[in-house]
Structure 1
Protein backbone atom coordinates (compact mmCIF):
# COMPACT_ATOMS: atom_id res chain seq x y z
CA UNK A 1 0.00 0.00 0.00
CA UNK A 2 2.97 2.32 0.58
CA UNK A 3 3.96 1.58 -3.02
CA UNK A 4 0.43 2.35 -4.22
CA UNK A 5 0.21 5.63 -2.29
CA UNK A 6 3.63 6.75 -3.52
CA UNK A 7 2.72 5.80 -7.10
CA UNK A 8 -0.54 7.78 -7.12
CA UNK A 9 1.15 10.85 -5.65
CA UNK A 10 4.12 10.69 -8.03
CA UNK A 11 1.78 10.25 -11.00
CA UNK A 12 -0.15 13.36 -9.96
CA UNK A 13 3.06 15.38 -9.55
CA UNK A 14 4.29 14.17 -12.93
CA UNK A 15 1.00 15.13 -14.56
CA UNK A 16 1.10 18.60 -13.00
CA UNK A 17 4.73 19.18 -14.10
CA UNK A 18 4.11 17.94 -17.65
CA UNK A 19 0.93 20.01 -18.07
CA UNK A 20 3.06 23.15 -18.30
CA UNK A 21 4.83 21.90 -21.43
CA UNK A 22 2.81 19.12 -23.06
CA UNK A 23 -0.79 18.67 -24.20
CA UNK A 24 -2.83 16.18 -22.13
CA UNK A 25 -3.35 13.90 -25.16
CA UNK A 26 0.40 13.80 -25.70
CA UNK A 27 0.97 12.80 -22.07
CA UNK A 28 -1.49 9.94 -22.54
CA UNK A 29 0.25 8.90 -25.76
CA UNK A 30 3.65 8.61 -24.10
CA UNK A 31 2.08 6.91 -21.11
CA UNK A 32 0.71 4.22 -23.43
CA UNK A 33 4.06 3.84 -25.21
CA UNK A 34 5.93 3.32 -21.94
CA UNK A 35 3.22 1.05 -20.55
CA UNK A 36 3.16 -1.06 -23.73
CA UNK A 37 6.92 -1.57 -23.62
CA UNK A 38 6.75 -2.65 -19.98
CA UNK A 39 3.79 -5.02 -20.42
CA UNK A 40 5.27 -6.62 -23.55
CA UNK A 41 8.55 -7.16 -21.69
CA UNK A 42 6.73 -8.85 -18.79
CA UNK A 43 4.66 -11.13 -21.06
CA UNK A 44 7.72 -11.98 -23.16
CA UNK A 45 9.68 -12.90 -20.03
CA UNK A 46 6.96 -15.36 -19.02
CA UNK A 47 6.85 -16.82 -22.57
CA UNK A 48 3.06 -16.86 -22.45
CA UNK A 49 2.55 -15.47 -25.96
CA UNK A 50 -1.14 -16.40 -25.89
CA UNK A 51 -1.62 -13.40 -23.59
CA UNK A 52 -1.12 -11.15 -26.61
CA UNK A 53 -4.39 -12.40 -28.14
CA UNK A 54 -8.05 -12.01 -27.22
CA UNK A 55 -11.46 -13.17 -28.38
CA UNK A 56 -13.21 -10.13 -26.87
CA UNK A 57 -11.75 -7.25 -28.82
CA UNK A 58 -15.07 -5.37 -28.92
CA UNK A 59 -15.35 -5.26 -25.13
CA UNK A 60 -11.67 -4.30 -24.80
CA UNK A 61 -12.26 -1.44 -27.24
CA UNK A 62 -15.39 -0.30 -25.39
CA UNK A 63 -13.56 -0.41 -22.05
CA UNK A 64 -10.55 1.52 -23.27
CA UNK A 65 -12.53 4.29 -24.92
CA UNK A 66 -14.02 5.12 -21.54
CA UNK A 67 -10.77 4.46 -19.68
CA UNK A 68 -9.01 6.89 -22.02
CA UNK A 69 -11.73 9.46 -21.32
CA UNK A 70 -11.27 8.91 -17.59
CA UNK A 71 -7.51 9.40 -17.85
CA UNK A 72 -7.93 12.54 -19.93
CA UNK A 73 -10.29 14.07 -17.38
CA UNK A 74 -8.05 13.08 -14.46
CA UNK A 75 -4.88 14.58 -15.98
CA UNK A 76 -6.83 17.66 -17.11
CA UNK A 77 -8.11 18.08 -13.57
CA UNK A 78 -4.58 17.70 -12.19
CA UNK A 79 -3.54 20.68 -14.32
CA UNK A 80 -6.52 22.88 -13.37
CA UNK A 81 -7.58 22.01 -9.80
CA UNK A 82 -5.91 21.62 -6.42
CA UNK A 83 -4.49 18.09 -6.27
CA UNK A 84 -6.57 17.19 -3.18
CA UNK A 85 -9.84 18.11 -4.93
CA UNK A 86 -9.03 15.85 -7.89
CA UNK A 87 -8.28 12.93 -5.57
CA UNK A 88 -11.41 13.59 -3.50
CA UNK A 89 -13.69 13.63 -6.55
CA UNK A 90 -11.97 10.48 -7.79
CA UNK A 91 -13.34 8.66 -4.74
CA UNK A 92 -16.79 8.84 -6.40
CA UNK A 93 -15.75 6.02 -8.77
CA UNK A 94 -17.18 3.24 -6.52
CA UNK A 95 -20.45 5.20 -6.34
CA UNK A 96 -20.85 5.31 -10.12
CA UNK A 97 -19.59 1.71 -10.45
CA UNK A 98 -22.33 0.50 -8.10
CA UNK A 99 -24.99 2.32 -10.11
CA UNK A 100 -23.68 1.00 -13.43
CA UNK A 101 -23.34 -2.57 -12.13
CA UNK A 102 -26.93 -2.52 -10.86
CA UNK A 103 -28.22 -1.10 -14.15
CA UNK A 104 -26.26 -3.07 -16.74
CA UNK A 105 -24.78 -6.12 -14.94
CA UNK A 106 -28.00 -7.08 -13.13
CA UNK A 107 -26.41 -6.76 -9.70
CA UNK A 108 -28.87 -6.28 -6.84
CA UNK A 109 -29.34 -2.81 -5.36
CA UNK A 110 -28.94 -3.67 -1.68
CA UNK A 111 -29.48 -1.48 1.36
CA UNK A 112 -25.73 -1.10 1.78
CA UNK A 113 -25.35 0.04 -1.82
CA UNK A 114 -28.14 2.59 -1.43
CA UNK A 115 -26.49 3.98 1.70
CA UNK A 116 -23.12 4.04 -0.07
CA UNK A 117 -24.57 5.90 -3.06
CA UNK A 118 -26.37 8.38 -0.80
CA UNK A 119 -23.23 9.10 1.24
CA UNK A 120 -21.21 9.42 -1.96
CA UNK A 121 -23.62 11.96 -3.44
CA UNK A 122 -23.59 13.89 -0.16
CA UNK A 123 -19.81 13.90 -0.28
CA UNK A 124 -19.84 15.31 -3.82
CA UNK A 125 -22.24 18.09 -2.79
CA UNK A 126 -20.01 19.03 0.14
CA UNK A 127 -16.89 19.12 -2.04
CA UNK A 128 -18.26 21.12 -5.00
CA UNK A 129 -20.54 23.24 -2.75
CA UNK A 130 -23.34 24.05 -5.21
CA UNK A 131 -25.09 27.31 -4.35
CA UNK A 132 -22.09 28.48 -2.31
CA UNK A 133 -19.37 28.39 -4.92
CA UNK A 134 -19.93 28.14 -8.65
CA UNK A 135 -19.25 24.61 -9.85
CA UNK A 136 -16.38 25.21 -12.26
CA UNK A 137 -15.92 23.26 -15.45
CA UNK A 138 -12.77 21.58 -14.13
CA UNK A 139 -14.74 19.90 -11.30
CA UNK A 140 -17.31 18.69 -13.83
CA UNK A 141 -14.50 17.29 -16.00
CA UNK A 142 -13.14 15.26 -13.06
CA UNK A 143 -16.63 13.99 -12.14
CA UNK A 144 -17.20 12.90 -15.75
CA UNK A 145 -13.77 11.24 -15.62
CA UNK A 146 -14.88 9.33 -12.52
CA UNK A 147 -17.98 8.11 -14.38
CA UNK A 148 -15.78 7.01 -17.30
CA UNK A 149 -13.53 5.13 -14.88
CA UNK A 150 -16.60 3.46 -13.37
CA UNK A 151 -17.73 2.23 -16.80
CA UNK A 152 -14.19 0.99 -17.45
CA UNK A 153 -14.13 -0.82 -14.08
CA UNK A 154 -17.46 -2.50 -14.81
CA UNK A 155 -16.11 -3.61 -18.20
CA UNK A 156 -12.96 -4.90 -16.52
CA UNK A 157 -15.11 -7.00 -14.21
CA UNK A 158 -16.82 -8.52 -17.23
CA UNK A 159 -13.47 -9.13 -18.95
CA UNK A 160 -11.85 -10.68 -15.88
CA UNK A 161 -14.08 -13.75 -16.25
CA UNK A 162 -12.10 -14.87 -19.31
CA UNK A 163 -9.08 -12.55 -19.71
CA UNK A 164 -5.73 -12.61 -17.91
CA UNK A 165 -4.83 -9.30 -16.18
CA UNK A 166 -1.74 -8.95 -18.40
CA UNK A 167 -3.93 -9.30 -21.50
CA UNK A 168 -6.20 -6.53 -20.21
CA UNK A 169 -3.17 -4.27 -19.61
CA UNK A 170 -1.66 -5.13 -23.00
CA UNK A 171 -4.89 -4.36 -24.86
CA UNK A 172 -5.30 -1.16 -22.83
CA UNK A 173 -1.93 0.21 -23.97
CA UNK A 174 -2.31 -1.12 -27.52
CA UNK A 175 -5.74 0.45 -28.07
CA UNK A 176 -5.10 3.74 -26.29
CA UNK A 177 -1.72 4.43 -27.93
CA UNK A 178 -3.07 5.32 -31.43
CA UNK A 179 -5.96 7.28 -29.87
CA UNK A 180 -3.54 9.42 -27.90
CA UNK A 181 -1.29 9.89 -30.93
CA UNK A 182 -4.09 10.98 -33.27
CA UNK A 183 -5.58 13.43 -30.77
CA UNK A 184 -2.18 14.95 -29.95
CA UNK A 185 -1.06 15.62 -33.53
CA UNK A 186 -2.70 19.06 -33.66
CA UNK A 187 -0.36 20.41 -30.97
CA UNK A 188 2.50 17.94 -30.77
CA UNK A 189 5.46 19.24 -28.79
CA UNK A 190 8.84 17.54 -28.52
CA UNK A 191 9.58 16.71 -24.85
CA UNK A 192 12.83 18.17 -23.58
CA UNK A 193 15.15 17.45 -20.68
CA UNK A 194 13.32 16.74 -17.46
CA UNK A 195 10.06 16.12 -19.38
CA UNK A 196 11.36 12.66 -20.25
CA UNK A 197 11.92 11.92 -16.57
CA UNK A 198 8.36 12.89 -15.67
CA UNK A 199 6.97 10.90 -18.63
CA UNK A 200 8.87 7.86 -17.42
CA UNK A 201 7.52 8.37 -13.90
CA UNK A 202 3.92 8.73 -15.16
CA UNK A 203 4.23 5.64 -17.37
CA UNK A 204 5.73 3.52 -14.61
CA UNK A 205 3.49 4.67 -11.73
CA UNK A 206 0.33 4.22 -13.80
CA UNK A 207 1.08 0.49 -13.79
CA UNK A 208 2.77 0.19 -10.39
CA UNK A 209 -0.14 1.88 -8.55
CA UNK A 210 -2.68 -0.67 -9.70
CA UNK A 211 -0.25 -3.57 -9.35
CA UNK A 212 0.45 -2.63 -5.72
CA UNK A 213 -3.27 -2.23 -4.96
CA UNK A 214 -4.06 -5.64 -6.47
CA UNK A 215 -1.13 -7.25 -4.67
CA UNK A 216 -2.15 -5.70 -1.34
CA UNK A 217 -5.61 -7.27 -1.66
CA UNK A 218 -3.98 -10.72 -1.80
CA UNK A 219 -2.43 -10.16 1.64
CA UNK A 220 -5.27 -8.55 3.58
CA UNK A 221 -8.97 -7.69 3.52
CA UNK A 222 -10.38 -5.29 0.95
CA UNK A 223 -11.72 -3.03 3.71
CA UNK A 224 -8.20 -2.40 5.02
CA UNK A 225 -6.91 -1.69 1.51
CA UNK A 226 -9.72 0.80 0.83
CA UNK A 227 -9.12 2.49 4.18
CA UNK A 228 -5.39 2.82 3.54
CA UNK A 229 -6.04 4.01 -0.01
CA UNK A 230 -7.95 6.93 1.51
CA UNK A 231 -4.66 8.15 2.99
CA UNK A 232 -3.64 9.43 -0.43
CA UNK A 233 -6.06 12.34 0.01
CA UNK A 234 -4.26 13.93 3.00
CA UNK A 235 -0.91 12.91 1.49
CA UNK A 236 -1.60 14.67 -1.82
CA UNK A 237 -3.00 17.64 0.11
CA UNK A 238 0.37 17.97 1.88
CA UNK A 239 2.14 17.69 -1.49
CA UNK A 240 -0.09 20.42 -2.92
CA UNK A 241 0.59 22.72 0.02
CA UNK A 242 4.36 22.17 0.06
CA UNK A 243 5.09 22.11 -3.68
CA UNK A 244 2.37 24.28 -5.20
CA UNK A 245 1.15 26.53 -2.38
CA UNK A 246 -2.40 25.14 -2.53
CA UNK A 247 -4.96 25.60 0.24
CA UNK A 248 -6.50 22.54 1.84
CA UNK A 249 -10.25 22.90 2.37
CA UNK A 250 -11.87 21.04 5.28
CA UNK A 251 -14.88 20.41 3.03
CA UNK A 252 -12.70 18.12 0.90
CA UNK A 253 -11.84 15.96 3.90
CA UNK A 254 -15.44 15.84 5.17
CA UNK A 255 -16.84 14.96 1.74
CA UNK A 256 -14.19 12.32 1.09
CA UNK A 257 -14.77 10.81 4.55
CA UNK A 258 -18.46 10.34 3.71
CA UNK A 259 -17.44 8.57 0.49
CA UNK A 260 -15.03 6.35 2.42
CA UNK A 261 -17.70 5.39 4.97
CA UNK A 262 -20.11 4.59 2.14
CA UNK A 263 -17.53 2.44 0.35
CA UNK A 264 -16.66 0.54 3.53
CA UNK A 265 -20.35 -0.12 4.31
CA UNK A 266 -20.84 -1.46 0.78
CA UNK A 267 -17.80 -3.74 1.04
CA UNK A 268 -18.80 -4.95 4.51
CA UNK A 269 -22.30 -5.75 3.26
CA UNK A 270 -20.91 -7.76 0.33
CA UNK A 271 -18.58 -9.72 2.64
CA UNK A 272 -21.41 -10.44 5.10
CA UNK A 273 -23.69 -11.77 2.35
CA UNK A 274 -20.86 -13.90 0.97
CA UNK A 275 -20.24 -15.38 4.43
CA UNK A 276 -23.96 -16.20 4.82
CA UNK A 277 -24.07 -18.23 1.59
CA UNK A 278 -24.17 -21.92 2.60
CA UNK A 279 -21.50 -24.19 1.15
CA UNK A 280 -22.23 -27.71 -0.08
CA UNK A 281 -19.74 -30.48 0.62
CA UNK A 282 -19.14 -32.90 -2.18
Structure 2
Protein backbone atom coordinates (compact mmCIF):
# COMPACT_ATOMS: atom_id res chain seq x y z
CA UNK A 1 0.00 0.00 0.00
CA UNK A 2 1.09 3.58 -0.53
CA UNK A 3 1.62 5.73 2.47
CA UNK A 4 -1.56 7.70 1.86
CA UNK A 5 -5.16 6.85 0.99
CA UNK A 6 -4.83 8.31 -2.51
CA UNK A 7 -4.56 6.01 -5.55
CA UNK A 8 -1.09 4.79 -6.48
CA UNK A 9 0.53 6.99 -9.13
CA UNK A 10 3.81 5.27 -10.09
CA UNK A 11 4.80 7.85 -12.72
CA UNK A 12 4.64 10.69 -10.21
CA UNK A 13 6.56 8.55 -7.72
CA UNK A 14 9.30 7.98 -10.31
CA UNK A 15 9.52 11.71 -11.05
CA UNK A 16 9.83 12.58 -7.36
CA UNK A 17 12.50 9.90 -6.95
CA UNK A 18 14.44 11.43 -9.83
CA UNK A 19 14.43 14.65 -7.80
CA UNK A 20 15.71 12.73 -4.78
CA UNK A 21 18.49 11.09 -6.83
CA UNK A 22 19.54 14.48 -8.20
CA UNK A 23 19.55 15.92 -4.68
CA UNK A 24 21.64 13.14 -3.12
CA UNK A 25 24.11 13.21 -6.01
CA UNK A 26 24.40 17.00 -5.90
CA UNK A 27 25.03 16.89 -2.15
CA UNK A 28 27.90 14.46 -2.61
CA UNK A 29 29.52 16.56 -5.33
CA UNK A 30 29.06 19.77 -3.33
CA UNK A 31 30.58 18.18 -0.22
CA UNK A 32 33.52 16.87 -2.26
CA UNK A 33 34.19 20.35 -3.70
CA UNK A 34 33.83 22.16 -0.38
CA UNK A 35 36.09 19.82 1.57
CA UNK A 36 38.92 20.60 -0.83
CA UNK A 37 39.08 24.03 0.81
CA UNK A 38 37.27 24.02 4.15
CA UNK A 39 36.96 21.58 7.06
CA UNK A 40 34.34 18.87 7.41
CA UNK A 41 32.96 20.66 10.49
CA UNK A 42 32.56 23.92 8.59
CA UNK A 43 30.80 22.14 5.73
CA UNK A 44 28.36 20.64 8.24
CA UNK A 45 27.79 24.02 9.90
CA UNK A 46 27.13 25.82 6.61
CA UNK A 47 24.73 23.11 5.45
CA UNK A 48 22.81 23.29 8.72
CA UNK A 49 22.71 27.11 8.67
CA UNK A 50 21.16 27.15 5.19
CA UNK A 51 18.63 24.43 6.07
CA UNK A 52 17.63 26.34 9.20
CA UNK A 53 17.22 29.57 7.20
CA UNK A 54 14.92 27.76 4.75
CA UNK A 55 12.86 26.30 7.59
CA UNK A 56 12.63 29.51 9.62
CA UNK A 57 9.66 31.16 7.82
CA UNK A 58 7.36 28.23 8.63
CA UNK A 59 8.84 27.98 12.14
CA UNK A 60 8.02 31.67 12.62
CA UNK A 61 4.45 30.98 11.47
CA UNK A 62 4.09 28.17 14.03
CA UNK A 63 5.47 30.34 16.82
CA UNK A 64 6.88 29.18 20.13
CA UNK A 65 3.69 27.36 21.03
CA UNK A 66 3.80 25.34 17.82
CA UNK A 67 7.46 24.44 18.28
CA UNK A 68 7.29 23.61 21.97
CA UNK A 69 8.28 20.04 22.77
CA UNK A 70 8.37 18.00 25.98
CA UNK A 71 10.91 15.64 24.40
CA UNK A 72 13.96 17.85 24.05
CA UNK A 73 16.21 15.16 25.56
CA UNK A 74 15.24 12.70 22.82
CA UNK A 75 15.84 15.36 20.16
CA UNK A 76 19.24 16.10 21.68
CA UNK A 77 20.26 12.43 21.79
CA UNK A 78 19.05 11.83 18.24
CA UNK A 79 20.99 14.77 16.86
CA UNK A 80 24.25 14.09 18.65
CA UNK A 81 24.24 10.73 16.89
CA UNK A 82 23.07 12.19 13.57
CA UNK A 83 25.80 14.85 13.71
CA UNK A 84 28.39 12.08 14.04
CA UNK A 85 26.85 10.42 10.99
CA UNK A 86 27.09 13.60 8.95
CA UNK A 87 30.75 14.08 9.88
CA UNK A 88 31.57 10.49 8.92
CA UNK A 89 29.69 10.73 5.61
CA UNK A 90 31.26 14.04 4.56
CA UNK A 91 34.71 12.80 5.56
CA UNK A 92 34.15 9.69 3.44
CA UNK A 93 33.01 11.78 0.47
CA UNK A 94 36.15 13.90 0.77
CA UNK A 95 38.62 11.01 0.41
CA UNK A 96 36.88 7.91 -0.99
CA UNK A 97 35.54 7.20 -4.47
CA UNK A 98 31.96 8.48 -4.48
CA UNK A 99 30.54 5.13 -5.58
CA UNK A 100 32.18 3.44 -2.58
CA UNK A 101 30.57 5.93 -0.20
CA UNK A 102 27.11 5.35 -1.65
CA UNK A 103 27.56 1.57 -1.66
CA UNK A 104 28.55 1.47 2.02
CA UNK A 105 25.80 3.95 2.88
CA UNK A 106 23.23 1.47 1.53
CA UNK A 107 23.96 -0.64 4.62
CA UNK A 108 22.05 1.79 6.84
CA UNK A 109 18.71 -0.16 6.71
CA UNK A 110 20.64 -3.30 7.69
CA UNK A 111 21.91 -1.62 10.86
CA UNK A 112 18.39 -0.24 11.48
CA UNK A 113 17.01 -3.79 11.59
CA UNK A 114 19.67 -4.82 14.11
CA UNK A 115 19.23 -1.76 16.33
CA UNK A 116 15.42 -2.00 16.21
CA UNK A 117 15.66 -5.60 17.39
CA UNK A 118 17.93 -4.59 20.28
CA UNK A 119 16.28 -1.37 21.46
CA UNK A 120 12.69 -1.59 20.19
CA UNK A 121 12.38 -5.36 20.68
CA UNK A 122 11.26 -5.77 17.07
CA UNK A 123 11.31 -9.38 15.93
CA UNK A 124 14.17 -10.49 13.69
CA UNK A 125 12.18 -12.42 11.10
CA UNK A 126 13.81 -14.80 8.64
CA UNK A 127 13.58 -12.11 5.96
CA UNK A 128 15.35 -9.60 8.21
CA UNK A 129 18.07 -12.09 9.10
CA UNK A 130 18.58 -12.81 5.38
CA UNK A 131 18.65 -9.06 4.70
CA UNK A 132 21.29 -8.49 7.38
CA UNK A 133 23.35 -11.43 6.05
CA UNK A 134 23.27 -10.01 2.52
CA UNK A 135 24.26 -6.61 3.88
CA UNK A 136 27.34 -7.98 5.61
CA UNK A 137 28.21 -10.03 2.53
CA UNK A 138 28.08 -6.90 0.38
CA UNK A 139 30.32 -5.01 2.80
CA UNK A 140 32.85 -7.85 2.72
CA UNK A 141 32.88 -7.77 -1.09
CA UNK A 142 33.67 -4.05 -1.04
CA UNK A 143 36.18 -4.20 1.83
CA UNK A 144 37.75 -7.52 0.88
CA UNK A 145 41.36 -8.18 2.01
CA UNK A 146 43.83 -6.34 -0.21
CA UNK A 147 41.27 -3.76 -1.36
CA UNK A 148 42.45 -0.15 -1.51
CA UNK A 149 39.15 0.69 0.21
CA UNK A 150 40.18 -1.17 3.37
CA UNK A 151 41.05 2.08 5.14
CA UNK A 152 39.77 4.28 8.02
CA UNK A 153 37.57 6.44 5.76
CA UNK A 154 35.53 3.39 4.73
CA UNK A 155 34.90 2.51 8.35
CA UNK A 156 33.94 6.16 8.96
CA UNK A 157 31.23 5.77 6.31
CA UNK A 158 30.05 2.50 7.88
CA UNK A 159 30.01 4.34 11.22
CA UNK A 160 27.93 7.05 9.55
CA UNK A 161 25.50 4.41 8.28
CA UNK A 162 25.17 3.04 11.82
CA UNK A 163 24.58 6.57 13.14
CA UNK A 164 21.88 7.18 10.53
CA UNK A 165 20.29 3.85 11.42
CA UNK A 166 20.28 4.91 15.08
CA UNK A 167 18.51 8.16 14.19
CA UNK A 168 15.84 6.17 12.31
CA UNK A 169 15.21 4.21 15.49
CA UNK A 170 15.01 7.46 17.48
CA UNK A 171 12.66 8.92 14.87
CA UNK A 172 10.24 6.00 15.18
CA UNK A 173 9.84 6.89 18.83
CA UNK A 174 9.64 10.65 18.29
CA UNK A 175 7.17 10.39 15.41
CA UNK A 176 4.45 9.21 17.81
CA UNK A 177 4.15 12.74 19.24
CA UNK A 178 6.32 15.02 17.09
CA UNK A 179 5.57 16.28 13.57
CA UNK A 180 8.03 15.67 10.74
CA UNK A 181 8.68 19.42 10.53
CA UNK A 182 9.45 19.66 14.24
CA UNK A 183 11.90 16.74 14.01
CA UNK A 184 13.72 18.32 11.06
CA UNK A 185 13.67 21.81 12.63
CA UNK A 186 15.19 20.64 15.91
CA UNK A 187 17.72 18.57 13.99
CA UNK A 188 19.12 21.70 12.35
CA UNK A 189 18.72 23.92 15.41
CA UNK A 190 20.63 21.53 17.67
CA UNK A 191 23.32 20.71 15.14
CA UNK A 192 24.03 24.36 14.29
CA UNK A 193 26.28 25.05 17.34
CA UNK A 194 27.69 21.52 17.15
CA UNK A 195 29.12 22.34 13.75
CA UNK A 196 30.04 25.94 14.55
CA UNK A 197 32.18 25.43 17.67
CA UNK A 198 34.80 23.08 16.13
CA UNK A 199 34.73 25.16 12.92
CA UNK A 200 35.91 28.38 14.56
CA UNK A 201 39.62 27.51 15.00
CA UNK A 202 39.69 26.00 11.48
CA UNK A 203 37.54 28.65 9.79
CA UNK A 204 38.34 29.55 6.20
CA UNK A 205 36.06 31.89 4.29
CA UNK A 206 35.05 30.00 1.15
CA UNK A 207 36.13 31.44 -2.17
CA UNK A 208 33.46 32.93 -4.41
CA UNK A 209 33.68 29.90 -6.70
CA UNK A 210 32.54 27.64 -3.84
CA UNK A 211 29.47 29.65 -2.82
CA UNK A 212 27.16 27.83 -5.31
CA UNK A 213 28.22 24.53 -3.75
CA UNK A 214 27.37 25.89 -0.29
CA UNK A 215 23.87 26.74 -1.54
CA UNK A 216 23.46 23.36 -3.24
CA UNK A 217 24.46 21.48 -0.07
CA UNK A 218 21.89 23.30 2.04
CA UNK A 219 19.02 23.24 -0.44
CA UNK A 220 19.50 19.59 -1.38
CA UNK A 221 19.70 18.65 2.29
CA UNK A 222 15.99 19.47 2.48
CA UNK A 223 14.87 18.64 -1.07
CA UNK A 224 16.25 15.08 -0.90
CA UNK A 225 14.04 14.14 2.05
CA UNK A 226 11.05 16.04 0.69
CA UNK A 227 11.26 14.28 -2.69
CA UNK A 228 11.43 10.85 -1.05
CA UNK A 229 8.42 11.68 1.13
CA UNK A 230 6.45 12.78 -1.93
CA UNK A 231 7.46 9.68 -3.87
CA UNK A 232 6.32 7.45 -1.01
CA UNK A 233 3.00 9.29 -0.99
CA UNK A 234 2.36 8.30 -4.61
CA UNK A 235 3.41 4.65 -4.65
CA UNK A 236 4.41 1.63 -2.57
CA UNK A 237 7.87 1.36 -1.08
CA UNK A 238 8.35 -1.71 -3.29
CA UNK A 239 8.10 0.60 -6.32
CA UNK A 240 9.99 3.59 -4.93
CA UNK A 241 12.90 1.93 -3.12
CA UNK A 242 14.42 0.07 -6.12
CA UNK A 243 14.82 3.45 -7.84
CA UNK A 244 17.12 4.53 -5.02
CA UNK A 245 19.67 2.01 -6.26
CA UNK A 246 20.12 4.18 -9.38
CA UNK A 247 22.16 6.47 -7.13
CA UNK A 248 25.06 4.03 -7.37
CA UNK A 249 25.60 3.87 -11.16
CA UNK A 250 24.78 7.59 -11.39
CA UNK A 251 27.42 8.60 -8.85
CA UNK A 252 29.88 6.14 -10.40
CA UNK A 253 29.49 7.92 -13.76
CA UNK A 254 29.95 11.31 -12.10
CA UNK A 255 33.02 10.12 -10.21
CA UNK A 256 34.53 8.75 -13.41
CA UNK A 257 33.66 11.83 -15.52
CA UNK A 258 34.61 14.61 -13.12
CA UNK A 259 37.13 13.06 -10.72
CA UNK A 260 38.72 10.34 -12.87
CA UNK A 261 37.66 7.69 -10.35
CA UNK A 262 38.13 4.26 -11.98
CA UNK A 263 35.25 1.82 -12.25
CA UNK A 264 35.47 -0.73 -9.46
CA UNK A 265 33.31 -3.80 -10.18
CA UNK A 266 33.62 -5.00 -6.57
CA UNK A 267 32.05 -1.74 -5.33
CA UNK A 268 29.14 -2.05 -7.75
CA UNK A 269 28.62 -5.75 -6.99
CA UNK A 270 28.91 -5.20 -3.23
CA UNK A 271 26.48 -2.29 -3.41
CA UNK A 272 24.04 -4.42 -5.39
CA UNK A 273 24.24 -7.22 -2.80
CA UNK A 274 23.64 -4.79 0.07
CA UNK A 275 20.72 -3.21 -1.76
CA UNK A 276 19.20 -6.60 -2.60
CA UNK A 277 19.09 -7.24 1.15
CA UNK A 278 17.20 -3.97 1.62
CA UNK A 279 14.71 -4.91 -1.08
CA UNK A 280 14.17 -8.36 0.43
CA UNK A 281 13.27 -6.77 3.75
CA UNK A 282 10.92 -4.24 2.12
CA UNK A 283 9.20 -6.99 0.10
CA UNK A 284 8.70 -9.12 3.21
CA UNK A 285 7.34 -6.18 5.21
CA UNK A 286 4.91 -5.28 2.42
CA UNK A 287 3.74 -8.88 2.18
CA UNK A 288 3.16 -9.07 5.94
CA UNK A 289 1.34 -5.73 5.92
CA UNK A 290 -1.04 -6.81 3.15
CA UNK A 291 -1.93 -9.97 5.07
CA UNK A 292 -2.85 -7.94 8.14
CA UNK A 293 -4.94 -5.30 6.32
Q: Please classify the TM superposition score into its range, dividing by the shorter chain length.
A: over 0.9
Q: CA 1:78 to 1:104, structure 2 compared with 1: closer, same or farther past 3 Å? A: same
Equivalent residue, structure 1, for 2:177: 162
Equivalent residue, structure 2, for 1:209: 224
1:214 to partner: Cα distance = 1.1
Give 2:151's match in structure 1, choosing from 136, 139, 142: 136
Equivalent residue, structure 2, for 1:199: 214
1:168 to partner: Cα distance = 0.5
Quick one: distance in 2 between partners of 1:131 and 1:42?
51
Quick one: distance in 1 between partners of 2:30 and 2:233?
28
Quick one: distance in 2 between partners of 1:127 and 1:50?
49
For 2:234, what is the secondary structure of its paired residue? coil
Equivalent residue, structure 2, for 1:98: 113
Equivalent residue, structure 1, for 2:42: 26
Instruction: Give matches, 1:56-67, under 5 Å.
Output: 56-67=71-82
Q: Which runs of 5+ in 2 are unaligned?
A: 1-16
Structure 1 contact 51–166 (Cα < 8 Å) conserved: no
Quick one: distance in 1 between partners of 2:82 and 2:172?
13
Instruction: String of CA shifts for 1:126-148, please: whole Å, max 9, x gaps.
Output: 01113555721111111111111
Matched, 1:38 2:54: yes
Equivalent residue, structure 2, for 1:12: 28
1:52 to partner: Cα distance = 2.0
Instruction: Give matches, 1:180-195, under 5 Å.
Output: 180-195=195-210
Structure 2 contact 255–261 (Cα < 8 Å) conserved: yes
Equivalent residue, structure 2, for 1:2: 18
Give 1:111's match in structure 2, choosing from 126, 143, 154: 126
Equivalent residue, structure 1, for 2:250: 235
1:43 to partner: Cα distance = 3.4
For 2:134, what is the secondary structure of its paired residue? helix
Quick one: distance in 1 between partners of 2:58 and 2:230?
16
Structure 1 contact 126–255 (Cα < 8 Å) conserved: yes
Structure 2 contact 142–149 (Cα < 8 Å) conserved: no
Q: CA 1:51 to 1:216, structure 2 compared with 1: closer, same or farther past 3 Å? A: farther
Q: TM-score, normalised by structure 2?
A: 0.91
Give 1:219's match in structure 2, choosing from 234, 237, 240: 234
Q: CA 1:134 to 1:5, structure 2 compared with 1: closer, same or farther past 3 Å? A: closer
For 1:172, what is the secondary structure of its paired residue? helix
Equivalent residue, structure 2, for 1:260: 275
Quick one: distance in 2 between partners of 1:87 and 1:35?
22
Q: Which aligned runs of 4 or more in structure 1 are off by greater than 6 angstroms?
A: none
1:223 to partner: Cα distance = 1.6
For 1:260, what is the secondary structure of its paired residue? helix
Quick one: distance in 2 between partners of 1:68 and 1:132?
29
Give 2:288's match in structure 1, choosing from 273, 276, 280: 273
- Matched residue pairs, number? 277
Quick one: distance in 1 between partners of 2:147 and 2:37?
34
Equivalent residue, structure 2, for 1:54: 69
Structure 1 contact 51–164 (Cα < 8 Å) conserved: no
Q: TM-score, normalised by structure 1?
A: 0.95
Q: Which runs of 5+ in 1 are unaligned?
A: none
